[in-house]
Amino acid sequence: MILRAVLAPFCIIHPTNSMSESPTTTDFILELDARPDLLRVVRAALTAWCERTGIETARADQICLAVDEASTNIIRHAYDVECGRIRLNCSRQTGSSGRSLLITLEDDGKQVPLETIRPRELDNVKPGGLGVHLIQQVMDEAVWCHRPDGGTTLTMRVDIDQTHTGVQQETITHA
């Protein structure tokens, strides 16, 4: 609750205490202004969550970096100079192939054409433009979708019971 008091009106934290045995359990939802200086809140919340779910520190650092890159892309491309919000939903899922973390980022900003969300050629050496590549290397699945009422959703899956291999193929779909 101290975190909420310090960050209001920039950030809303919705912890969930679901004790159900359902296949998907939402641990928390974080909503904050799309501002670079608030990304530290996202990193801190993700680091604590990964630690609590038993993710090794090095893997947690990779996950935080990928989510930070995705959040930065939202700020830069969806909102540009406009004010907006980012919603982060962190859940655990249990399925036939084991346990996974599901991390969803949503925005209400400008929709970029989904076909433009792709990694750049790595032999094209220049600053920037590596966020999508990094996300795809860190996550086991990354799916970008346009939201029907505007904005974009990025759903990322991290398998925690299997050896990490990164995204097998680029997955970008329309909602």
| Residues 102, 31: Cα–Cα separation, whole Å | 16
Q: What values do phi and psi take at 19, rounded to 5?
A: -110, 10
Residue 167: pLDDT above 90?
A: no
pTM for the complete prediction?
0.79
Q: What is the mean pLDDT of residues 130-143?
A: 90
Domain ranges of the chain: 18-172
Per mean pLDDT, which range of 14-28, 38-52, 66-80 is the poorest? 14-28
18-172 CATH choice from 3.60.15.10, 3.40.47.10, 3.30.565.10, 3.30.300.20: 3.30.565.10
